[in-house]
Copies of this chain bind each other. A is one copy, B any other.
Amino acid sequence: MMGSGVFTGIFKEEDIHAKTDRDGVAFADALKRIGYAGAAPCGGRKVGAFFECHIEQGPILEAEGKTIGVVTGGQAQRWYEVNLVGQESHAGTTPMERRRDALLGAARIVDMVNHIGITHLPSARATCGVIEAKPQSRNTVPGRVFLTVEFRHPDETELATMDKTFRAQAARIAGEIGLELDIQEIWHFPATPFSADCIAAVRDAAKARGYSHRDIISGAGHDALYMARVAPTAMIFVPCADGISHNEIEAAAPDDLAAGCQILLDAMLRRANAPV
C-alpha cells in the first residue's frame, strides 16, 4: 500500500523511496532496477472512481458458497502495545499467594481480548499476536511480559467501546495480580466506508450475471482503502481456499477469478456509463 499511500498524499514520495528492505536496498533503487521507476508524477490527478478485485483472504465466501463479495468498506483498527511488570521470583520457593506473575496477567488479558471480540460479533476482530515473557526460565515466575493487541471493527463507535472495555479490564486484571500496566495505542486506522454508488455498481453487476453474492467488510488493508479518500471506491472479493493468503498454499478457483474479473469490468462500465 506504499504506492497508493503516495498517490493519495498520505505518504511523502521521498520517504517511501528511502525505505529499505532487510538487505538494506532502498525502494527507489529496487524500482529502478526492475524498470518500474516511471517518469509520471505519482498522484495529483483526478480519479473518477476506483474498483479493486481481490481474494477475500478470509473464509466467509467459501464457507457460504458465495462467488462474489460486495465489499462495503474497510474496518477501523486500533493497535496497542502492552507491558506488564510484576516480580521475577523462584518457582519453587515463592508461595502462590505472594506472586506477582506477569505471564498470568498477560494470559488473562489474552482471554479477555478474545472475549471482547466475541461480544462484538459478527464484525469485530480481536487478536493478540506477539508475546514475549522474561526471563524465559522454566523454574522462574515471569517478571515481565510484552504483548501486542489489536481490535478491528467497521463501526468506530463499537471500536471505541471495545477500547474502553479493554483498558478497564486490563487495569482490573493488573490490579488483582499486583502488576504495573502500561498500554500504548500505537496505531489508529479509521473506518473506511466505500461509495454507495460504487458498491451498488458491484452488487447490481453480480445480480445481473447471476452470481451468488453477499455484502462483506474488508478485514485486511488494500490500496482501495487509501484510494477511497480521494475517489468513489468499491471492491470485489472472490473466495479463496481456507481463507489463507500471503502463503504458498494460497489458492483460488479459476472460475471464481474469472467471475471476479467479469464483475470488475461490469462495475467499471456501469459506473462509467452512469448519469453524472
**A interface vs B, CB < 8 Å?**
56-60, 63, 75, 77, 79, 89-98, 101, 103-104, 106-108, 110-111, 114, 117-118, 121-122, 124-131, 133, 136-142, 148, 150, 152, 218-221, 243-246
Contacts and interface: CB of A to CB of B under 8 A. Distances in A.
B77 A92 contact: yes
Copy number in the complex reads 2
A107 B118 contact: no
A27 to B, nearest CB: 21
A129 B133 CA distance: 8
B121 A97 contact: yes
A94 B95 CA distance: 40
22 contacts: A58-B90, A58-B94, A59-B95, A77-B92, A90-B243, A92-B125, A92-B221, A93-B245, A94-B125, A95-B121, A96-B114, A96-B121, A97-B121, A98-B243, A108-B111, A127-B141, A129-B137, A130-B133, A130-B136, A130-B138, A131-B131, A131-B136
**Quick one: which of A111, A136, A138, A244 has the most chain B CB within 10 A?**
A138
B152 A148 contact: no
A117 B104 CA distance: 12
Contact of A106 (B60, B89, B107, B129): B107
A59 B94 contact: yes
A121 B99 CA distance: 13
The 8 A-B pairs at the shortest CB distance, nearest first, are namely: A58-B93, A92-B219, A107-B110, A93-B219, A91-B127, A107-B107, A57-B93, A96-B117
Contacts of A106: 107, 110
A91 B136 contact: no
Contacts of A89: 243-244
A137 B127 CA distance: 10
Contacts of A124: 96
A59 B141 CA distance: 14
Nearest to A221: B92
